[in-house]
Every structure is written in structure tokens, then in C-alpha cells.
Chains A and B, each alone.
Chain A
Amino acid sequence: MKGKKNHGNWYFLLSVAILYIAIAFFDPQTILSSLEFSFLIIKNIVPVFILVFVLMVIVNYYVTPQKLVKYLGKKRKWLFAILGGIISTGPIYMWYAMLRELKEKGVGYGFIATFLYNRAIKPPLIPVIIYYFGLKFTIVLTGVMIIFSVLQGMIIEKLEMRL
């Protein structure tokens, strides 16, 4: 993967730009209103993104797959699966290798499922959720997701035992 650039993101933006240009020919007023609305959204989320960047740097500095495997491999406890999932950053394929290593060491699928589910909770992105949905919502959703992550792990563990 190293060195390979993903241009898909830029192609997506280019496609949207082409769509805007095409509509502008027929209905310039719609495009002006849309651009105005877009600018308003961007203006509001820029400060949040600065905070997100700072949090990402901190998490990336302290958390690596190597550091996590030290804790996750030794103690097979739900707490470590939850915390490990929450603090793990970066693309998922970075973590597949670690999870396979854990599986080979005898860690159950339930534990891996809980870890993967908790990857959905991203501490650096919490400011964005709070901005859009509020603090109370963020706390409740995070709590419910953690509970369901363990539930999913338990179900998968039960299914694994039957195989």
C-alpha cells in the first residue's frame, strides 16, 4: 500500500464540481444558493476540525498496533477489547494483521468482534459529533454502542463454540 496514492477522493470531488458546472448552465441561482449554503457549513466546521487534528496527533503519538498487542494479547478481557477498539486509529487494514496475530494466540472471535465494533467510537472525532448532535447525545450513543459491542462479542463467542 505504501506509496500508492488514492485519487478516488479527488475524482469524487471533480464529479461533484462537473455536476455543479452542468447545473449552473441551466439554473445559476440554484448553484449560487448551494454554494452559499456549503460555505456556511464549511465555516462552521473549520474550528472543530482544528481540534480534531490536534486530538488525532495526540492519539497517533501514543497508540500503535505494537503497543496495543502487548495488552490485548495477554489478558482476554472485554475491557481491553473496548479500550483497544476505541483508541485504535488509522485504516482497518492496519489492524487486521494484529487481529490475526491475536487469533493465532488463541484470542476468541467474540473479543475481536468487540474490538472491531468499538473502532466506531473515535475520540478525536468527538468534537464533530458534539457540534452536530450535542454532548448528551454523544454520551448516550457512546454508552449504548459500548454495551452492544460486548453483546455482539458474546453472541459471536457463543456461535463460535457451536462450530
Chain B
Amino acid sequence: MKWKKSVIKSARSLGNVIPVLIGVILLVSLANTLIPKSAYSKIFSKNIFFDSFIGSAIGSVLAGNPVTSYVLGGEMLKQGVSMVAVIAFLVAWVTVGMVQLPAESLILGKRFALTRNFLSFLFSILVAVVTVFVMGLV
């Protein structure tokens, strides 16, 4: 691939992300203004398995470029959401592909696609727990 082609491909791919990213930033800012910080403590209980399960469930149903999840996760962390929930959210976002599931099933087989996505969901919880444990954040 030539340099010019690489620049165009990268610009196109980043350009596609920008409207979503701006939209997400605007929504995060709105949530930051409207929702009191105490509301998050009602959803996230500080139980590492429950919090990571919730984070993972949200990350699994949402889809899009990973950049969006990093920005969203980073802002969630600033709002007081626990690290374990944010990690589970980030990992599920990039490893569980509910949107791509039909295409993955068609090309690589339904059984493989379902098993892989189910394992990825479980692993997003485990990765989150192990990461916070390794970092000594529990």
C-alpha cells in the first residue's frame, strides 16, 4: 500500500469516527451536567463481580470504534464509576460483537461465533477482575 493510499484510508477511517465521537462527547457532557454523581453509586454497587457484569453487559450491546469506548470509559471513570466496571465495559466493547454476529456466523460458522462471543463476554469480566487485582486497585 502506498503512503498516499495509507493516508487516505486512515483519514477516512478517522473521519467516520468523528461524528460519533462528537455525539458521544456531547451526550457524556449532558449526562455530566444533568445526572448527579450519586446516581452512579446506585447502579454500581462496588461489588467487583456485579459491577463488571453490568459494565460487560453495556459494552456488549454497544458497538463502534474502540476510540469511542475509551473516551466514554475515561469519562465514566471521572464520574466515579468503578475501575472494574469500566475495564469490563472497554473489553466487552472490543471483544463481544453482537452487531457482527450474523456476519461472523455466516462466514465462520454459527457454533463458533456463538461460543466465541459467549466466552468473550465471560472473559471481559475475568479480564477486568484480574487487571484490577494485578494493579492493586481492589
Contact between A57 and B70, CB atoms less than 8 A apart = no
Chain A, range 71-108, C-beta contacts under 8 Å to B: 90, 92-93, 96-97, 99-100, 103
- Asked whether B123 lies within 8 Å of A57 as measured between CB atoms, the reply is no
Which B99-127 residues have C-beta < 8 A from chain A?
100, 103-104, 107-109, 111-112, 115-116, 119-120, 123, 126-127
Interface size on A, residues (CB 8 A): 64
Q: Does A41 contact B (CB under 8 A)?
A: yes
Closest chain B residue to A6 by CB distance?
A: B16
**Does B41 make an interface contact (CB < 8 A)?**
no
Which secondary structure characterizes the binding site on chain B?
Answer: helix
CB pair A41–B3 under 8 Å, yes or no, is no
Cβ-neighbour of B20 out of A12, A122, A129, A144 (below 8 A): A12
Contact B19 A9 (CB under 8 A): yes
Contact A9 to B20, CB < 8 A, known contacts A37-B33, A96-B103, A100-B107: yes
Closest to A147 in B: B130
Interface centre among B17, B26, B127, by most A CB within 10 Å? B26
Report the nearest A residue to B75, measured CB to CB.
A41
Tell me whether A25 is interfacial, beta carbon within 8 Å: no
Main secondary structure of the interface of A (DSSP, over half): helix
Please give, as numbers and ranges, the residues of chain B lying within 8 Å of A68 by CB-CB distance.
Answer: none
Residues of B within 8 A of A6 (CB): 16
Residues in chain B near residue A133, CB distance under 8 A = 73-74, 77
Interface flags, B1-27, vs A, CB<8A=1, else 0: 111011101110110111110110111
* Contact indicator per residue, chain A 137-162, by CB within 8 Å of chain B (1) or not (0): 10011001100100110011001000
Can you identify 28 A-B contacts, CB atoms within 8 angstroms?
A: A9-B18, A16-B22, A16-B27, A17-B26, A20-B30, A30-B33, A33-B29, A33-B33, A35-B26, A38-B25, A38-B29, A41-B71, A57-B10, A60-B9, A90-B9, A92-B103, A100-B108, A103-B108, A112-B112, A120-B94, A129-B70, A131-B74, A132-B70, A132-B74, A133-B74, A137-B135, A144-B130, A152-B119
